[in-house]
Amino acid sequence: MKRLIIGTRGSDLALWQANYIKDRLSGIGVEAELKIIKTQGDKILNLRLDKLEGKGFFTKELEEELLSGKIDLAVHSHKDLPTVHPAGLVIAAVPEREDPSELLLILKDCVDVTQKLSLKTGAMVGTSSNRRKAQILAVRTDLNIEDLRGNVPTRIQKLRDENYDAILLAKAGVNRLKIDLSEFHVEVIEPTELIPAPAQGALAIQIRESDTALYELLQQIHDPETASQIAVERKVLNMFEGGCHMPLGCYCKKENGKYEIWTSKADDSDAFPDRVFFRTESLDGMAEKIVSKYNPARKKPGKVFISREIGPHSYFRRALDKHNIQIEDRSLIRTFPIVNILDPFYLKNIDWIFFSSRNGVEFFFKLKPALSKKVKFGVVGRGSEDALRRHGHLADYVGESGDVQDVAVEFAALVKGETVLFPRAQDSLLTIPKALSADTKVVDLPIYETVIADETDKTFADVLIFTSPSNVEAYFKNNLLDPGQKVIAIGSSTGKKLDEMGVSYILPFSPDELGLAEAVFGLEI
């Protein structure tokens, strides 16, 4: 085959992407050279992209060169491509996807680890993404979001020059350029928390539709699984008739043989986004199902009961207030400390402390523990992580799955051969400690007990959310479900208690307010 010409933009990241494809082609015996082409997005740096007319700010000129035959293939960041291709062009290959997480880079004197995302109150955050802005403001209403343009090194230099307190970047780009970030505090925001742009982290190799021989050749560097997942994400974008400026995030991945899909959509960058989560065995028709959840005529719950108090400014309350869904929040249990003074013996030579609940965090730090700086923290989920932050500590391990069994297996592998302290409820199921290997030392510390109320008032809410097995036990001791009432369980331990009682339920992906908002918004009554 003749020597191929690869069209690319001239930024450091675009050149990395093009050279990556050049190397992959070399690996299958095909030689190629690069041709740098300037796009509209590279030339206009003083305006937000959503203020420009048309689409394809980073792709149009590359596509024109392809159609004219001046280049043989173009390498794009897949998320920059319009969802409708020009006639005569086709995406021939999609290699394996890079990590689609977001990075929050923070100047070290602007860090406050007691707050969500480790940002000080009122911090100025740089991003020109409406999607990022809507989702970040939903979890931190106090932040100031300012426009940020330029390639990755330019954006980082603007932070270094203190034009911002922090900036948001795609982790994929930073990984590919191998940029040293040691001068900043770096927070990795998982794609299940800040949902990425459709196809974020993926590359697209575009060719002329008539080049069938080249198409067949490129199948050697094509990853069908990645392609099928981002196809769903981009179909959702297309069905909403949105471009890269729409405040839309959609992310699909495969886990344990099933597809998991998260979607976040806001009306504009200042509006509160609605989130949806699906777990499915097949991607057929999933884009249509996702989009149908955003139909304003769809009947949503009128009232939700939850077995713990919800703050007036919490994410979950604001997510429900947006749709005029009432919240009945009351705990059905009481908790009491059973340890008032902490014996220093429990803290001797420990490597990790693991918390399986917010209550565990709160009761432990009331004991004013004197902790070694080398101690690391593990938490069962983001709710416990937020509680730990409020005491000035960052979690070294955060369980991402709502299934405590999965968390147990993952954490057990991480701490093999070390010593782990477990501050816990007296009636804990001990799921995590039981999963640890024989050479991992467990230091057991029951620090609080749970007391169930003798009687609990019935709720007539459309949806009942139970936050712990004890709350399940307390409610169903003298109450039954009404026909049509739906039940949501926070965490698999709570789900198991409902299983014992023969109550069907929904298990959100994550046992926190984001997961709850996804579960409630996805319901139809």
Q: Provide the annotated active-site residues.
A: 80
The closest of 132, 66, 72 to 101, measured between CA atoms, is 132
Quick one: tokens of 301?
């719950």
Q: What is the spatial distance between Cα 258 and Cα 301, in angstroms, rounded to a whole number?
A: 28
| Burial track 225-239 (b if 16+ CB lie within 10 A, e otherwise) | ebbebbbbbbbbbee
Residue 462: other Cβ atoms inside 10 A = 21
> Would you give the DSSP letter of residue 178?
T
Q: Identify any residues that bridge with 107 across adjacent strands, giving them in sequence order.
A: 184
Q: Per-residue DSSP letters for 253-305?
A: EEETTEEEEEEEE-SSTTSPPEEEEEEES--TTHHHHHHHTT-TTS---SEEE
- The answer to whether the beta carbons of residues 164 and 146 sit under 8 Å apart is yes
Distance CA 188, CA 398 (A): 12
Task: Report DSSP letters for 80-134, one per residue.
Answer: GS-SSPPTTEEEEE--PPPP--EEEEEEGGGB-TTSGGGBPTT-EEE---HHHHH
Handedness of CA 296, 298, 302, 307 (dihedral sign): negative
- DSSP, res 201: T
Cβ atoms of residues 195 and 249 within 8 Å:
yes
- Ranges assigned E (strand) in 111-232: 124-126, 144-146, 166-170, 184-189, 203-208
Find out whether 471 and 451 touch, Cβ atoms under 8 Å.
no
Token readout for 13 is 């990241």
Give the closest residue to 77 by CA, choosing from 183, 239, 196. Answer: 196
Alpha-carbon span 236 to 101, nearest angstrom: 19
Phi then psi for 331, rounded to 5 degrees? Answer: -80, 145
Give the separation between CA 488 and CA 405, rounded to whole angstroms. 18
Kindly give, in sequence order, each residue whose CB lies less than 8 Å from that of residue 359, ignoring residues fewer than 6 positions away.
335, 425, 448
Between CA 35 and CA 45, with CA 40 as vertex, the angle to 5 degrees is 115
